[in-house]
Amino acid sequence: MKVKHIFLIFILFFIFFSCSKKEQPGTPTTNPPPQSLRKIAFISYSNPPGKLCLINEDGSNLIELSEKAESPAWALDGNKIAFESYKDGTADIYVINADGTDEKKLAFSTTAAEESPVWSPDGNKIAYVSNETGNKEIIVMNADGTYKTNLTNNPATDTNPVWSPDGTKIMFISNRNGYEEIYIMNANGTSPQALLPNNASNMNPVWSFNKVAFTSNMNGNWEIYKIENNTQSRLTNNNAYDDFPQFSPDGSKILFYTDVDGDEEIYVMNSDGSDKKNLTQYPGKNDKWGRWSPDGQKIVFVSDRDGSNEIYVMNADGSNQKRLTYTGFNIDAVWRP
Ligand SMILES: [Ca+2]
Ligand SMILES: [Ca+2]
Ligand SMILES: [Ca+2]
Ligand SMILES: [Ca+2]
């Protein structure tokens, strides 16, 4: 009896000591809330076609936001998605809240296509492409659809607007001098200038800090290039198709896809082109269109390894490749910022 009593005191003392030890000054006593799952927007060509969908990064909670949609673009605060939809015939620009409420048609014409919306970094404006004048122009409007301004005003084809990280400039592709060259203009449309003209076709430009990466066939086949401090460097050098460069959030790495191994794989390299690594390593099937999660820890991509195009997520080192979608033909997967 006495031994039992001493033992109980010992246990109580131990529990008291353990608890008091945890309550050091300045130490949080409650656990942080579990980090919520990141969301990914994508376009699904199941029935009806072109559904704008959202899914969690673990494949849970798939919801449909809109129909006949393409080109989803998140506002940087993660609360709204701009997209183009052809539900009224021709493509028009819409915005919807990420919870599916308050869908609004902001830029529309029954005779023209309004497409490729992109948000300014501060979320106040949306640039997009319209052919209402008879050729493609870059238009900018306020995020509520007011004050539309034609920024390019050029009879050539002007497409693919990309905001500079500070929002003061817009990069775009124009064939005004015969080739699809990269141009940069002020965000109000003044002073458009070719970035480094190369008399070739250029596409998919992206902008990170003071660096621009893009795809070009200036050396005979499609390669990834970078321009930094007005100096161009060639980052890939092979006879295969290399495309869709994507800077990591810190700008230190570039994701792209290439069929250098015979079928498409997602590769990562340092932003100077060194240390290329095949991340997907799935021979015989096409893995492409990789995009970094906002924290750079994960990559979303599209693969046909299980039949038709499905959305997958992997760790940034290529490990833990996980299939998220199971129906339809799915593309345009974009992380919520
Ligand atoms: Ca239209
Ligand atoms: Ca034009
Ligand atoms: Ca190549
Ligand atoms: Ca592959």
Backbone CA torsion sign across 75, 181, 269, 331: positive
Going from the Cα of 142 to the center of ligand 2, the distance in angstroms, rounded, reads 20
Mean pLDDT rounded to a whole number for the chain: 91
Going from the Cα of 136 to the center of ligand 2, the distance in angstroms, rounded, reads 4
DSSP bridge pairs for 55: 40
Going from the Cα of 254 to the center of ligand 2, the distance in angstroms, rounded, reads 30
Q: What is the pLDDT of residue 33?
A: 44
Going from the Cα of 186 to the center of ligand 2, the distance in angstroms, rounded, reads 16
Going from the Cα of 24 to the center of ligand 2, the distance in angstroms, rounded, reads 65
Contacts of 151 by beta carbon, 8 Å cutoff, 6+ apart: 127, 137, 138, 139, 140, 170, 185, 188, 189
Q: Are 245 and 238 in contact (CB under 8 A)?
A: no
Going from the Cα of 178 to the center of ligand 2, the distance in angstroms, rounded, reads 13
Q: What is the pLDDT of residue 28?
A: 43
Tell me the C-alpha distance between 51 and 62, whole Å: 12
Going from the Cα of 202 to the center of ligand 3, the distance in angstroms, rounded, reads 13
- The C-alpha angle with vertex 250 and arms to 245 and 251, in degrees rounded to 5, equals 40
- Looking at all shown ligands, the one closest to residue 261's CA atom is 4
- Looking at all shown ligands, the one closest to residue 242's CA atom is 3
pLDDT by residue (tens digit) across 9-23?
Answer: 444 444 333 333 333
HEC sequence for the chain:
CHHHHHHHHHHHHHHHHHHHHHCCCCCCCCCCCCCCCCEEEEEECCCCCCEEEEEECCCCCCEEEECCEEEEEECCCCCEEEEEECCCCCCEEEEEECCCCCCEEEECCCCCCEEEEEECCCCCEEEEEECCCCCCEEEEEECCCCCCEECCCCCCCEEEEEECCCCCEEEEEECCCCCCEEEEEECCCCCCEECCCCCCCEEEEEEECCEEEEEECCCCCCEEEEEECCEEEECCCCCCCEEEEEECCCCCEEEEEECCCCCCEEEEEECCCCCCEECCCCCCCCEEEEEECCCCCEEEEEECCCCCCEEEEEECCCCCCEECCCCCCEEEEEECC
* Pairing outcome for strands 202-208 and 330-335: unpaired
Q: What is the pLDDT of residue 32?
A: 46
- Looking at all shown ligands, the one closest to residue 107's CA atom is 1
Going from the Cα of 87 to the center of ligand 3, the distance in angstroms, rounded, reads 38
- The C-alpha angle with vertex 46 and arms to 304 and 311, in degrees rounded to 5, equals 35
Going from the Cα of 120 to the center of ligand 4, the distance in angstroms, rounded, reads 34
Going from the Cα of 272 to the center of ligand 3, the distance in angstroms, rounded, reads 16
Average pLDDT for runs of 10 along the chain of length 337: 48 39 40 71 90 97 96 97 96 97 97 97 98 97 98 98 98 97 98 96 98 97 96 97 98 98 97 98 98 98 96 98 95 97
Going from the Cα of 152 to the center of ligand 2, the distance in angstroms, rounded, reads 6
pTM above 0.75, yes or no: yes
Ligand 1 (ion): residues with CB under 5 Å are 90, 92, 109, 114
Going from the Cα of 19 to the center of ligand 2, the distance in angstroms, rounded, reads 70
Q: What is the pLDDT of residue 148?
A: 98
Q: What is the pLDDT of residue 35?
A: 61
- Looking at all shown ligands, the one closest to residue 234's CA atom is 3
Going from the Cα of 193 to the center of ligand 2, the distance in angstroms, rounded, reads 14
Q: What is the pLDDT of residue 54?
A: 98
- Looking at all shown ligands, the one closest to residue 106's CA atom is 1
Going from the Cα of 272 to the center of ligand 4, the distance in angstroms, rounded, reads 24
Going from the Cα of 178 to the center of ligand 1, the distance in angstroms, rounded, reads 27
Going from the Cα of 21 to the center of ligand 2, the distance in angstroms, rounded, reads 69
Q: What is the pLDDT of residue 14?
A: 41
- Looking at all shown ligands, the one closest to residue 93's CA atom is 1
Tell me the C-alpha distance between 163 and 153, whole Å: 18
